Amino acid sequence: MYLELPNKLKGLQMMSANLAKEMFRPISRKYDLAEHEYPKELDMIANMLDGMNDGEQGGVAGATQSSKAKKPDNGEVKNGSNMASLIGIQELCWGDTGLLLSMPRQGLGNAAIAAVANEEQLERFKGKWAAMAITEPDAGSDSASIRTTAKKDGDYYVLNGEKIFITSGARADLIVVWASVDPSLGRAAIKSFAVEVGTPGLELARLEHKLGIKASDTAAYILDNCRVHKSNLLGDPEVKVEKGFAGVMETFDNTRPLVAGMAVGVAKASLEKTKELLKDCLKDNYTTPVNNLSAVEAGIYKMEAEWEAARLLTLKAAWMADNAQPNSKEASMAKAKAGRMCNDITLKCVELCSGLGYSETELIEKWARDSKILDIFEGTQQIQQLIVARRLLGKSSAELR
Amino acid sequence: MSKPPIGYALAAMNSVASSEWIDKLGLRNAIEKLTYQGTKTGFQALGAATRQFKNVNKQLNPTRLDKPKGQSDLFDLSITDEQQMMKDTVQRFAQDVVRPAAATADSAGFTAPDLLAQATELGLAYFAVPESLGGAAVEHSPITNMIVAEELATGDLGIAVAILSSIGVANAITQWGSGEQQSKYLPAFLDEKPLPAAIAISEPTPLFNANELNTTAKAAGDTYILHGKKSCVALIESAELFLVAATTEGKGNQLFLVESSNEGVTIEKSPAKGLKPANVGTLVLNNVKVPKQALLGDANINYQTLLNYSRLAWCALACGTAQAVLDYTIEYANDRVAFGEPISHRQSVAFMIANIGIELEGMRVMTQRAVALAERGEDFQRAAYLAHIFCADKAMEIGTNGVQLLGGHGFTKEHPVERWYRDLRAIAVMEGGLHL
Ligand SMILES: Cc1cc2nc3c(=O)[nH]c(=O)nc-3n(C[C@H](O)[C@H](O)[C@H](O)COP(=O)(O)OP(=O)(O)OC[C@H]3O[C@@H](n4cnc5c(N)ncnc54)[C@H](O)[C@@H]3O)c2cc1C
């Protein structure tokens, strides 16, 4: 048992931290103010990362690289691609979450493709930037109730519906769209389709104006008789009612710890800056009982403890994935804990830093806006609690809704 | 070579499996409770009579345990096969022996000597005493010690403290004691009637800070004179040896081995909100004169590190007890019907349980991290400090929600949640008492 980062990941960590510091931080405020403007600086960074990722076992910013490991044959413990991706993402989000989410070719859609596409599709979509479109105006948390349809017409599917909140939707090359091939068959009929931007019938409706992560664009699309070739259906075209929803949802076991990692990174940024600003008030060195300290110092230590707990839970979830252990419950635990921890800490830091924390001179107020989304997307706080509760109590989704 | 540690674990597993213990305990508890209560009221008395220490096998230099070796630097949450076996053994003991005895021990205010004797068979003391002094310990493994504490506490926190109190003192002597102290005291922990002992650090002052002690140790010739009061000391009536923290002139805070029959040592029975099976009370030191050799170890003993080991022990106990709360509330919420369906079908109930699970998992990884650092001899000050803040906070939250989830029934002694509620308050309060 040992819960420290191994040396072999420390290099990656340092590299990501440097990138975050030298490339993200300097333009962090700029794109917070210039919402919807494309952060062109990212192209260069992305090219650089592509080169690095080719040679590495885990990517720096790659949701793409995280996946279920095969069981190691020799029983040896692994610190693999899930942990590597997590570390990279965490450090980059210390720099800027919005920019991380805008990294070309590192979208959630890429993760989905990596998880379910066949060989031919993997080859064809290689190097493409893929966004993910599940959410609809009337279906968010309840993603099984989406209404977008995909009707078979010869060699094509005809897609109709409305998708909202698509991260990088206006910047990506293609969008992975969830649609039902037969609404009468329920959730098992939901399939994902790679729809290339520019396909007739795929119309950009708008970009959202948001509370935070403004560097990341969030698009809404209308699908109006959008014809997609059947070879763009990802995974198995058959509707297997007995298999249900599990397949598509599995992707989330891998991506939830990554979003938790984002939260760990943002909270770290905020706490670190706050400690720096308050350094004259912090005299103790983790020795005096917390109730004998000043309120500020006690508060800082308590936040640090919360942060460590979330960080370790997140590492645990990734470690389990790397070692082929089922981690659905732990992934949700990590996401729930990290999401609320990050929101609590970033808000408290604004409070502790008073006017300085609240003003745009520092990034502390920005982190406290950015943090909110991390407790919402990839499953809200409540949805994570629901998943954990069902697992612990042994309840079905019909019993515990 | 003496019996390897795992041998004791296996031997113990066999004895747990036989239901004899439980039967024996079941019979005895009721009788003992009656006789015991009859003799007890608030009083100040002499402590237990101290045995004659044999001091055979005298060693000049202390024996220190090795660090477990051959470990990679990978992030790794798995435990060794030996640790797994230890875990299984203690888990069974906790379920089959400790839990059934918990309510009685709680109302009696002490753990039946019988049960403590059964616990002795687990061989835990052998892990604390080096081979050269008759024990089986070769390596010092805080990880294994955490596993033991955590599993024992799934049975009952107070009983776990009663069992681990003496072993904590043994661990401390093994880790810090001089050769003479080791050969004098350590074999006694392996006696047929093992030496009951307790670490005494807390004092009866509000906002107690273990770094600013009121208990003093003044050097006077060949002796130290100890003066002060220690609160919430475990095994107060039976302990024959206390490891007492006191502030010295020039040497900062130090620990002293004080035998219960030293002149000037008295005890006050002062039961607490919880931890009743641990028989906690106040240790009064009225100008107690001890020889210079009673100072634990030499000047290089690290008082802060000792505090950290103690805090981590409390964290481990908190994890075990919180696990008990989680298991119990899951079962209860699935069984209990209100408004036509199990209460667990309601989110405000289910989410509370989810949060117990989440925060408990956080407590566990925080403690594991600190303990694993300690095991390798790396700096674990910050990790232990943060683990303790976190566990103290979440343990109480879990304790109070445990009662809440059972409603009025949780408020009665029909269920163990009210006991866990009282016990878990201790995590934030206790300093010392144990040593991983
Ligand atoms: C900036 C941003 C980027 C996003 N990026 C993407 C993307 O790339 N792709 C994509 O598909 N989606 C994306 N989303 C959508 C996001 O995943 C959803 O917003 C989220 O899952 C919640 O859905 P909702 O907004 O419809 O809220 P709702 O589902 O309507 O939930 C509203 C509230 O009710 C609670 N709630 C809902 N159901 C339950 C229940 N059963 N029990 C208890 N409480 C419940 C929720 O927790 C929440 O508090 C993005 C959203 C934003 C804001």
- Indicate if the pLDDT at residue A246 is higher than 90: no
> Is A309 within 8 Å of B351 when comparing Cβ atoms?
no
Domain ends where: A121, A143, A166?
A121
Q: How confident is the model at residue A283 (pLDDT cuts 50, 70, 90)?
A: confident
Which chain A positions have a beta carbon within 8 Å of B387's beta carbon?
Answer: 305
A317-355 exposure pattern, b = at least 16 Cβ within 10 A, e = fewer = bbbbbbbebebbbbbbbbbbbbbbbbbbbbbbbbebbee
- The minimal CB distance from B372 to the residues A1, A285, A392 is found for A1
CB atoms within 10 A of CB B51: 16
Task: Work out which ligand 1 atom sits closest to the CA atom of A382.
Answer: 47
Average pLDDT score over residue span B293-314: 90
CA-proximal residue: ligand 1, atom 14 (nearest): A165
pLDDT in tens, B163-183: 999 999 999 999 999 999 999
CA-proximal residue: ligand 1, atom 32 (nearest): A141
Query: Do residues A98 and A132 share a domain?
Result: no
CA-proximal residue: ligand 1, atom 38 (nearest): A141
Domain ends where: A121, A147, A178?
A121
Specify the range with the lowest mean pLDDT, choosing from B46-60, B253-267, B292-306, B350-364. Answer: B46-60
User: Is the shortest distance between the CB of A357 and ligand 1 below 6 Å?
Assistant: no
Q: Quick one: which of B289, B270, B284, B272 has its CA closest to B229?
A: B284
Query: Do residues B31 and B178 share a domain?
Result: yes
A290 and chain B in contact, CB less than 8 A = yes
Mean pLDDT rounded to a whole number for chain A: 92
pTM for this one? 0.93
Q: How many domains does chain B have?
A: 3
What pLDDT score does A60 carry?
46
> Is A310 within 8 Å of B381 when comparing Cβ atoms?
no
> Is A312 within 8 Å of B373 when comparing Cβ atoms?
no
What pLDDT score does A248 carry?
64
Distance, in Å, from the CA atom of A203 to the CA atom of A197, rounded to the nearest integer, reads 9
> Is B350 within 8 Å of A400 when comparing Cβ atoms?
yes
Which chain A positions have a beta carbon within 8 Å of B363's beta carbon?
Answer: 309
Question: Is position A1 within any domain?
Answer: no
DSSP string computed for B391-408? HHHHHHHHHHHHHHHTHH
A376 alpha carbon – ligand 1 mean position (Å): 6
A385 alpha carbon – ligand 1 mean position (Å): 14
Query: Do residues B23 and B159 share a domain?
Result: yes
Query: Do residues A37 and A165 share a domain?
Result: no
B348-378 exposure pattern, b = at least 16 Cβ within 10 A, e = fewer = ebbbbbbbbbbbbbbbbbbbbbbbbbbbbee
Distance, in Å, from the CA atom of A60 to the CA atom of A49, rounded to the nearest integer, reads 7
Residue range of the domain that includes B328 = 303-428
Q: Which of A56, A330, A365, A378 is catalytic?
A: A378
Give the position of tokens 């213990």.
Answer: B21
User: Is the shortest distance between the CB of A383 and ligand 1 below 6 Å?
Assistant: yes
Q: How confident is the model at residue A251 (pLDDT cuts 50, 70, 90)?
A: low
Query: Do residues A97 and A65 share a domain?
Result: yes
Query: Do residues B172 and B271 share a domain?
Result: no
How many CB contacts within 8 angstroms connect chain A with chain B? Answer: 153
What pLDDT score does B33 carry?
40
Give the position of tokens 């949450």.
Answer: B77
Query: Do residues B286 and B339 share a domain?
Result: no
Query: Do residues B372 and B272 share a domain?
Result: no
What pLDDT score does B39 carry?
40
Question: Is position B229 within any domain?
Answer: yes
What pLDDT score does A116 carry?
87
Question: Is position B436 within any domain?
Answer: no
Contact between residue A278 and residue A357 where contact means Cβ atoms under 8 Å apart: no
Q: What is the CATH number of the domain that holds B365?
A: 1.20.140.10
Q: How confident is the model at residue B49 (pLDDT cuts 50, 70, 90)?
A: confident
CB atoms within 10 A of CB B198: 32
DSSP string computed for B346-380? SHHHHHHHHHHHHHHHHHHHHHHHHHHHHHTT---
Average pLDDT score over residue span A249-272: 90
Question: Is position B435 within any domain?
Answer: no
Which chain A positions have a beta carbon within 8 Å of B75's beta carbon?
Answer: 2-6, 79, 83, 315, 319
> Rounded to the nearest 5°, which phi and psi values hold at A104?
-55, 140
User: Is A276 a catalytic site residue?
Assistant: no
pLDDT in tens, B173-228: 999 999 999 999 999 999 989 999 999 999 999 999 999 999 999 999 999 999 99
Question: Is position A253 within any domain?
Answer: yes
Specify the range with the lowest mean pLDDT, choosing from A315-324, B357-366, B425-434. Answer: B425-434
Question: Is position A400 within any domain?
Answer: no
Q: How confident is the model at residue A57 (pLDDT cuts 50, 70, 90)?
A: very low
> Rounded to the nearest 5°, which phi and psi values hold at A41?
-55, -25
CA-proximal residue: ligand 1, atom 48 (nearest): A380
- Indicate if the pLDDT at residue A63 is higher than 80: no
Q: How confident is the model at residue A315 (pLDDT cuts 50, 70, 90)?
A: very high
Strands B241-248 and B216-220: parallel
pLDDT in tens, B69-104: 778 899 999 999 999 999 999 999 999 999 999 999
- Token representation of residue B330: 């899951």
What pLDDT score does A240 carry?
83
Distance, in Å, from the CA atom of A326 to the CA atom of B121, rounded to the nearest integer, reads 37
Query: Do residues A356 and A279 share a domain?
Result: yes
Question: Is position B244 within any domain?
Answer: yes
Interface of A with B in 192-251 (CB under 8 A): none
Question: Is position B433 within any domain?
Answer: no
> Is A301 within 8 Å of B73 when comparing Cβ atoms?
no
- The minimal CB distance from B365 to the residues A7, A309, A389 is found for A309
A27-57 exposure pattern, b = at least 16 Cβ within 10 A, e = fewer = bbbebbeebeeebeebeebbeebeeebeebe
Query: Do residues A271 and A326 share a domain?
Result: yes
Query: Do residues B314 and B403 share a domain?
Result: yes
Which chain A positions have a beta carbon within 8 Å of B143's beta carbon?
Answer: 1
What pLDDT score does B138 carry?
87
Q: B319 or B140, which is more confident?
A: B319
Distance, in Å, from the CA atom of B187 to the CA atom of B171, rounded to the nearest integer, reads 12
Helix (H) or strand (E) holding A52: helix A41-55
Query: Do residues B266 and B309 share a domain?
Result: no
Specify the range with the lowest mean pLDDT, choosing from A165-179, B11-25, B101-115. Answer: B11-25
Specify the range with the lowest mean pLDDT, choosing from A102-111, B44-53, B125-134. Answer: B44-53
Query: Do residues A251 and A382 share a domain?
Result: yes
Question: Is position B334 within any domain?
Answer: yes
Query: Do residues B208 and B119 share a domain?
Result: no
Average pLDDT score over residue span A285-302: 95
- Indicate if the pLDDT at residue A252 is higher than 80: no
What pLDDT score does B292 carry?
94
The single-letter code of the amino acid at B31 is I
Query: Do residues B288 and B418 share a domain?
Result: no
What pLDDT score does A284 carry?
83
Domain ends where: B225, B259, B294?
B294
Nearest Cα residue in chain A from B363 = A309
User: Is the shortest distance between the CB of A110 and ligand 1 below 6 Å?
Assistant: no
Domain ends where: A81, A99, A121?
A121
B139 alpha carbon – ligand 1 mean position (Å): 51
pLDDT in tens, B99-111: 999 999 999 999 9
Distance, in Å, from the CA atom of A382 to the CA atom of A377, rounded to the nearest integer, reads 11
- Indicate if the pLDDT at residue B4 is higher than 90: no
The CA–CA distances, whole Å, from B17 to B20, B25, B117 equal: 9, 15, 16
A174 alpha carbon – ligand 1 mean position (Å): 22
Nearest Cα residue in chain B from A5 = B75
Which chain B positions have a beta carbon within 8 Å of A379's beta carbon?
Answer: none
Average pLDDT score over residue span A295-324: 97
Q: A277 or B301, which is more confident?
A: A277
Q: What is the CATH number of the domain that holds B87?
A: 1.10.540.10
Q: Quick one: which of B416, B404, B433, B425 has its CA closest to B106?
A: B416
What pLDDT score does B41 carry?
40
Which chain A positions have a beta carbon within 8 Å of B381's beta carbon?
Answer: 285-287
Residues β-bridged to residue B258 = B242
Question: Is position A239 within any domain?
Answer: no
How many Å from the N-terminal Cα to the C-terminal Cα in chain B? 25
Q: What is the CATH number of the domain that holds A198?
A: 2.40.110.10
Q: B7 or A328, which is more confident?
A: A328
Q: How many domains does chain A have?
A: 3
| Residue B41: Cβ-neighbour burial (10 angstroms; 0-12, 13-18, 19+) | exposed
> Is A286 within 8 Å of B386 when comparing Cβ atoms?
yes
The CA–CA distances, whole Å, from B62 to A41, A375, B244, B299 equal: 63, 54, 20, 14
> Is A83 within 8 Å of B382 when comparing Cβ atoms?
no
A396 alpha carbon – ligand 1 mean position (Å): 21
Strands B265-269 and B281-291: antiparallel
Specify the range with the lowest mean pLDDT, choosing from A64-68, A154-158, A362-366. Answer: A64-68
Q: How confident is the model at residue A115 (pLDDT cuts 50, 70, 90)?
A: confident
> Is A392 within 8 Å of B357 when comparing Cβ atoms?
yes
> Is A6 within 8 Å of B385 when comparing Cβ atoms?
no
Residue range of the domain that includes A22 = 7-121
A7 and chain B in contact, CB less than 8 A = yes
Nearest Cα residue in chain B from A329 = B358
Average pLDDT score over residue span B419-430: 96
A252 alpha carbon – ligand 1 mean position (Å): 14
CA-proximal residue: ligand 1, atom 45 (nearest): A382
Average pLDDT score over residue span B28-57: 59
- Indicate if the pLDDT at residue B11 is higher than 90: no
Q: What is the CATH number of the domain that holds A63?
A: 1.10.540.10
Distance, in Å, from the CA atom of B348 to the CA atom of A94, rounded to the nearest integer, reads 34
Which chain B positions have a beta carbon within 8 Å of A305's beta carbon?
Answer: 366, 386-387, 389-390, 393
User: Percent of chain A having pLDDT more than 70?
Assistant: 92
- Indicate if the pLDDT at residue B35 is higher than 70: no
Question: Is position B273 within any domain?
Answer: yes
Three-state DSSP class for residue B126? helix
Query: Do residues B132 and B254 share a domain?
Result: no
pLDDT in tens, B378-416: 999 999 999 999 999 999 999 999 999 999 999 999 999
Query: Do residues B191 and B130 share a domain?
Result: yes
Question: Is position A2 within any domain?
Answer: no
Q: How confident is the model at residue B42 (pLDDT cuts 50, 70, 90)?
A: very low
What pLDDT score does A13 carry?
95
Question: Is position B56 within any domain?
Answer: yes
- Indicate if the pLDDT at residue B37 is higher than 80: no
Query: Do residues A209 and A278 share a domain?
Result: no
A285 and chain B in contact, CB less than 8 A = yes
- Indicate if the pLDDT at residue A61 is higher than 60: no
- Token representation of residue B331: 């079962």
User: Is the shortest distance between the CB of A397 and ligand 1 below 6 Å?
Assistant: no
Q: What is the CATH number of the domain that holds A309?
A: 1.20.140.10
- Indicate if the pLDDT at residue B123 is higher than 80: yes
Query: Do residues B171 and B308 share a domain?
Result: no
Find which of A89-98, A234-243, B22-31 is predicted with most confidence, using mean pLDDT. Answer: A89-98
Average pLDDT score over residue span B109-115: 93
Query: Do residues A62 and A159 share a domain?
Result: no
Q: Quick one: which of B255, B261, B224, B254 has its CA closest to B239?
A: B261
Distance, in Å, from the CA atom of A345 to the CA atom of A353, rounded to the nearest integer, reads 12
Query: Do residues A316 and A358 share a domain?
Result: yes
Query: Do residues A341 and A357 share a domain?
Result: yes
Q: How confident is the model at residue B19 (pLDDT cuts 50, 70, 90)?
A: very low
Q: Which residues contact A230 (CB under 8 A, 6 or more apart)?
A: A152, A155, A156, A157, A237
- Indicate if the pLDDT at residue A165 is higher than 50: yes
CB atoms within 10 A of CB B30: 10
Average pLDDT score over residue span A113-132: 93
Query: Do residues A177 and A271 share a domain?
Result: no
Predicted complex ipTM: 0.94
Domain ends where: B195, B221, B248?
B195
Distance, in Å, from the CA atom of A325 to the CA atom of A314, rounded to the nearest integer, reads 14
Domain ends where: B141, B172, B195?
B195
What pLDDT score does A67 carry?
56
The single-letter code of the amino acid at A304 is E
Q: What is the CATH number of the domain that holds B260?
A: 2.40.110.10
Specify the range with the lowest mean pLDDT, choosing from A377-386, B34-43, B258-267. Answer: B34-43
Q: How confident is the model at residue A73 (pLDDT cuts 50, 70, 90)?
A: low
pLDDT in tens, B148-160: 999 999 999 999 9
Query: Do residues A86 and A152 share a domain?
Result: no
A308 and chain B in contact, CB less than 8 A = yes
